[in-house]
Structure 1
């Protein structure tokens, strides 16, 4: 397939191999990304359209009223990024090139595809805000640690800390004191608030992922090796969009989400990288004392922030959803009542939810430059933009010189004095935490053992300045991978397959 996008520097070629993987051959990196965008639209236009609706809090407009709660909750927390600026990025030229290719395919359509007809929708062009929202959405949905904090706090306050303290990975004496101080409001927490995390699922499904890498000293070829397995279920279309880009001497192959120019895992001539879900704790629950539309702070009572979210609904009038916020985040009990999920009367103590990205602007080009990195150091620097990363992943990167680094690619609070495993006191200033700096999240560099790995486990244990993985999965997979990596002196490609 040859196609000339209006903005393209020159004609480029897209070839699908026998496995259905598109290969884009272009004269410039920008044109390669234009080809990637065009191929993604050609294969996955409905998937992209639907994913953008979810990320932007517009699913009810596309699919109907059952998505109203999901849309309103996400928009209240600025998952779509519409309540903060869309900053400029050094990677915007890649995002723009990708969008030119994707929108070039959309504009080439001479009829509405059947998926859109079935949904009563029409294709539309996409923009930078869509890409930024997609990244924020992946951070939002991957690990709802606040639900575990709510359950743990209620159980401990009701039945005693000692019954449950061994069931949580990190728990401190300060956490114990918090449970005692907040005993009454924790006992009265409404456990049905958890339904806000998964409003359309009776039982949420979970999956795992592994990645590991060795330096050239541990490989038969003398070159570094990396393996990454995201453990995604089989779906049609696939979760990932696999693509190869070529622009002269520059080559990239990897997996992205259709609709964004970010390679979640892949390799170039210089580097290779892979990721796992980090089970990063980016949420905090606060018990707030509320009095006449004001919340208690360390310096007295402060008026709540009131905002209204307008949710468009397919086949119906739009719905106005009032939102109440404290300095920490959205109050959950009033939201539950507004959405018809609770009929409780106004309580003295209410629960607010903090999400680390809620007030942080993020760009469309934030992650686009990763395949242009020549080394692990450059890759690690590109993960963060203005000290923010819109992900919640463990990422391993190795370069051709056998430099091996591991990063926790995220935006998360630096909790000192408490672990964050239980709800916090909303009126005490000491529980307002700064966000982690990139250097605190570049956690491993050229380990002496010659390998590194992650498997949704607690990758830091007691080694970091603060706790990052409060509710990870069991370490069994990580332990087994470690055993295997210690069994041989040299590894082959076949060993990693």
Structure 2
């Protein structure tokens, strides 16, 4: 199986954002005839031109990209029509979101879904979504979710089922508001459900604590945070763990908290694939040509066919908003309204902790008490195979994951009711910064770097989300290790798994990073501020600052020049493909030329005059991309293979490329023999040349292509392969082999001209639609489409109240 297929398989059966999709495995279709009459009937079906709505009249007008503008006479009429419209285009995709989160995937796809179902049943995301619905059902947001569910239900009943349902020979369950909340839980899990702590614990056992600390340092050594030293924000209290406490936490390795390598590897299969992240930046009108602010956002999430996002415009009394939603969510998640625009990137705050217990069968010690695990047995239905039983256990901290003879308790912010759906709805209706900030303060989960700009010239950065405060014996502690749950270590104040939290016990809103009216601010998942500016522990780790540094460099360059930051420059920054890894390491590669054989030296010579840009027509970019992969393997694989570690345990490239010549990974590695860094570079370059030659690639675009596939991995369902620019470390982001990249690109402006956006594919879910992949070429080429509502002309669909056709 090639790299991209492995990545999509891992994504589907994991908890990644957008991974509610099946892996591309043609085996799912063994029982079916893809070109049967039923399939063609489903492919040819479409929505009727008039629909009876129980919630009032509405209309839908599609533009040339099948982006709907949905107008409703009321909020409920709008939500119903949005549900109907999304289900018409993406019903199978919506079903898979929910099936995976409920742990019902195997009922549709068979044996390949069993492990995913086991994990998701044990986590019991459904109970968390039900708690959310209990808290929202009597609110305006709850009313919208109910009307949306009615629309999905009626669309499912009005037409022939999507082709994928025909191929798998099942019908979707009736959509409910809880299903929309499961979609939100799925997104939150993909962004914050990290098993890094378990991997670190297993790595320390497999290698040693020193090696683990070197590969996964507490903080990457750089000076490129999101909020630079000139920024300020509210900060009070003294709850940051001391360095001595952090060191003690890292050094503790009692057997009771050891994590088996097999368990860590199993759990890690259900988190996000490498590369999930995002870019955003906002620029004050002080630096633009029009005096109006500018905003950009591109979330780096799973690249799937059909895409993760659904473009839509919504109109109702007091509402005019456009942007993208996750299929199954009625509101615009990222976009703009008549007042302002907003975007999100993952803040990386530590929202999850793990606990080991002194346990005896169905009891465990908790302080001075002996408690019983809350326990029930569920049946996993398996299509075409024997059903399985799974035991679902819970402790005082939340769910208990159980596999390979180990039990680990999990506390995760997303397992309690949150107000995020209400926050997103209120953002849609916001009329300026004040109301937008009020909405963002309700954005309980996941933690996000929110950027905002409005037509009054206001700009804002704000970190959203509930950030836990952890205590052991009354002392603040960091969440960077496996806690002794029986000793009541790492207790979360205010946390209520499967209930409603006490939000006052989490880090107060005023004490989270934020900045009003910055000149400009750029977020790319790097460290938010220097640790000494915080009075609370926020995160175990952040992404490498390659993209964040580059965005700031480009903004600084233009801000200190005589030219303004205009819309074209905004576009240029988002399309930038200069790789900071290359700028750092190519000189080191060239210094090792004397150690290389002739073919490797010839490849290194391609790098001499290279401008470090990862463009499709570059041979140097091709060699560099393959070199980094080969160098990573040459440095770590001898030790990793000996310890039974796979590539899920690789550190990030910041760590790899900053290893000094005297690093233990060269001079005294935990596995394999000593070698110099130059020798390792030379062998890695030879490996890269061999891999390029074997593949027959001539330039980077031969390798760096749009490998975006349908879950069934059939040629007539998969997207075309187009060459494209960019890399995992560039602003225009694509991570070849992991199925992750810029899942939506937004450039927002306030000067009377339309904003621009694009998704990597098309809005339609049917492969027989001209809109199935019609935006993909523009996405691959770094082009955009105007983000404009369609409000004139005859509607494509009318929703008539009570059957009234007027």
Please give the range of the TM-score, normalised by the shorter of the 2 chains.
0.7 to 0.9
**Alpha carbons of 1:119 and 1:407: their partners in 2 closer, same or farther (altered >3 Å)?**
farther
Answer yes or no: is the 8 Å Cα contact 2:342–2:451 preserved in 1: yes
Q: Which residue is equivalent to 1:367? A: 424
Deviation (angstroms), 1:85: 6.0
Aligned residues: 477
CA distance in 2, matches of 1:42, 1:267: 24
Higher share in strand: 1
CA distance in 1, matches of 2:350, 2:516: 26
Aligned residue runs from structure 1 range 477-496, under 5 A? 477-489=547-559, 490-496=564-570
Answer yes or no: is the 8 Å Cα contact 2:333–2:424 preserved in 1: no
What CA deviation, in whole Å up to 9, does each residue of 1:79-103 have, x standing for no partner? 1236636222331232233233333
SS of 2:464 mapped into structure 1: strand
CA distance in 2, matches of 1:283, 1:216: 39
**Alpha carbons of 1:293 and 1:39: their partners in 2 closer, same or farther (altered >3 Å)?**
closer
Deviation (angstroms), 1:206: 2.9
Answer yes or no: is the 8 Å Cα contact 1:62–1:119 preserved in 2: yes
SS of 2:259 mapped into structure 1: coil
CA distance in 2, matches of 1:374, 1:442: 24
SS of 1:258 mapped into structure 2: coil
Alignment counterpart, residue 254 of structure 1, candidates 323, 326, 331: 323
Do structure 1's residue 141 and structure 2's residue 200 form an aligned pair? no
**Alpha carbons of 1:312 and 1:17: their partners in 2 closer, same or farther (altered >3 Å)?**
same
Aligned residue runs from structure 1 range 181-200, under 5 A? 181-186=252-257, 188-199=258-269
Deviation (angstroms), 1:248: 6.0
SS of 1:351 mapped into structure 2: strand
Deviation (angstroms), 1:150: 1.7
Q: Which residue is equivalent to 2:729? A: none
Do structure 1's residue 176 and structure 2's residue 247 form an aligned pair? yes
CA distance in 2, matches of 1:441, 1:67: 43
**Where in structure 2 are there 5+ consecutive unaligned residues?**
1-47, 220-241, 495-505, 572-806
What CA deviation, in whole Å up to 9, does each residue of 1:360-389 have, x standing for no partner? 46686563332001123322332455xx72
Q: Which residue is equivalent to 2:282? A: 213
What CA deviation, in whole Å up to 9, does each residue of 1:338-367 have, x standing for no partner? xxxx3x5xx7xx532222222446686563
Answer yes or no: is the 8 Å Cα contact 2:348–2:539 preserved in 1: yes
CA distance in 2, matches of 1:22, 1:419: 46
Deviation (angstroms), 1:73: 1.9
Do structure 1's residue 382 and structure 2's residue 439 form an aligned pair? yes
Alignment counterpart, residue 123 of structure 2, candidates 71, 77, 82: 77
Q: Which residue is equivalent to 1:7? A: 54
Deviation (angstroms), 1:17: 1.4
Deviation (angstroms), 1:215: 2.3
Q: Which residue is equivalent to 2:481? A: 422
Alignment counterpart, residue 455 of structure 1, candidates 513, 518, 524: 524
Q: Which residue is equivalent to 2:304? A: 235
What CA deviation, in whole Å up to 9, does each residue of 1:237-271 have, x standing for no partner? 11100011233663211011111113221000112
Do structure 1's residue 152 and structure 2's residue 200 form an aligned pair? yes
Aligned residue runs from structure 1 range 71-470, under 5 A? 71-80=117-126, 81=128, 84=131, 86=133, 87-88=135-136, 89-109=139-159, 111-146=160-195, 148-156=196-204, 161-166=209-214, 167-170=216-219, 172-186=243-257, 188-199=258-269, 204-232=273-301, 234-247=303-316, 250-316=319-385, 318-332=387-401, 335-336=402-403, 342=404, 344=405, 351-360=408-417, 365=422, 367-383=424-440, 385=442, 389-415=444-470, 417-434=476-493, 436-437=506-507, 439=509, 443-447=513-517, 449-462=518-531, 463-470=533-540
SS of 2:330 mapped into structure 1: coil
CA distance in 1, matches of 2:212, 2:489: 25
**Alpha carbons of 1:256 and 1:31: their partners in 2 closer, same or farther (altered >3 Å)?**
same
CA distance in 1, matches of 2:103, 2:378: 10
What CA deviation, in whole Å up to 9, does each residue of 1:439-474 have, x standing for no partner? 157531315x42222112122332333232322210
What CA deviation, in whole Å up to 9, does each residue of 1:387-415 have, x standing for no partner? x7242432212222233233333333123
CA distance in 1, matches of 2:203, 2:268: 21
Q: Which residue is equivalent to 1:57? A: 103
- Return the TM-score normalized by structure 1: 0.86
What CA deviation, in whole Å up to 9, does each residue of 1:102-126 have, x standing for no partner? 33322322x3332111111114431
**Alpha carbons of 1:77 and 1:381: their partners in 2 closer, same or farther (altered >3 Å)?**
farther
Answer yes or no: is the 8 Å Cα contact 1:156–1:179 preserved in 2: no
Q: Which residue is equivalent to 1:339? A: none
**Where in structure 1 are there 5+ consecutive unaligned residues?**
337-341
**Alpha carbons of 1:397 and 1:362: their partners in 2 closer, same or farther (altered >3 Å)?**
closer
Higher share in helix: 2
CA distance in 2, matches of 1:160, 1:219: 52
**Alpha carbons of 1:307 and 1:123: their partners in 2 closer, same or farther (altered >3 Å)?**
closer
CA distance in 2, matches of 1:317, 1:82: 29
Answer yes or no: is the 8 Å Cα contact 2:97–2:186 preserved in 1: no
Tell me whether 358-367 or 218-227 shows the greater mean CA deviation: 358-367
**Alpha carbons of 1:456 and 1:400: their partners in 2 closer, same or farther (altered >3 Å)?**
same
Answer yes or no: is the 8 Å Cα contact 1:95–1:364 preserved in 2: no
CA distance in 1, matches of 2:61, 2:265: 45
Deviation (angstroms), 1:318: 4.3
CA distance in 1, matches of 2:197, 2:422: 33
**Alpha carbons of 1:438 and 1:5: their partners in 2 closer, same or farther (altered >3 Å)?**
farther
Answer yes or no: is the 8 Å Cα contact 1:262–1:367 preserved in 2: yes
RMSD, aligned CA: 2.9
What CA deviation, in whole Å up to 9, does each residue of 1:314-357 have, x standing for no partner? 2456433113333223444xx21xxxxx3x5xx7xx53222222
Which of the two has higher C-alpha Rg?
2
Answer yes or no: is the 8 Å Cα contact 1:408–1:441 preserved in 2: no
